Structure 1
């Protein structure tokens, strides 16, 4: 599992254009860098979500 500290750094240094954008919901998409290993993640603190890729949500649905 990816630590919260590592995710904070990834989010801080990954531009919107370079982020994964795997869709969790209309309001949450993966903020990790494109091509990352492991789970997708979005949000901060107690609102942070982590999820595995879902087959019904193709990557890069948001552009």
Structure 2
């Protein structure tokens, strides 16, 4: 399974309450499960973005 397919499954089975929600922009927040390994990710298809959380950047969580 490629990484895009795996992310699609994670997004489909992770509720909003259980997703990471690290903020990439006002329009993209991490949809991976809380406590995930690796990069943050949001969006689908050609609109998908991935990003690393910078240690000097406090988490911006959507409540």
TM-score (normalised: structure 2): 0.89
Cα distance in structure 2, aligned partners of 1:57 and 1:33: 19
Aligned CA-pair RMSD: 1.4
List alignment gaps of at least 5 residues for structure 2: none
Larger radius of gyration: 2
TM-superposed CA distance for 1:35, in Å, is 0.2
Cα distance in structure 2, aligned partners of 1:58 and 1:22: 6
* Number of equivalent positions: 61
Look up the SS of the partner of 1:11 in the other structure: helix
List alignment gaps of at least 5 residues for structure 1: none
Partner of 2:57: 56
Q: Which structure carries more relative contact order (alpha carbon 8 Å, separation 6+)?
A: 1
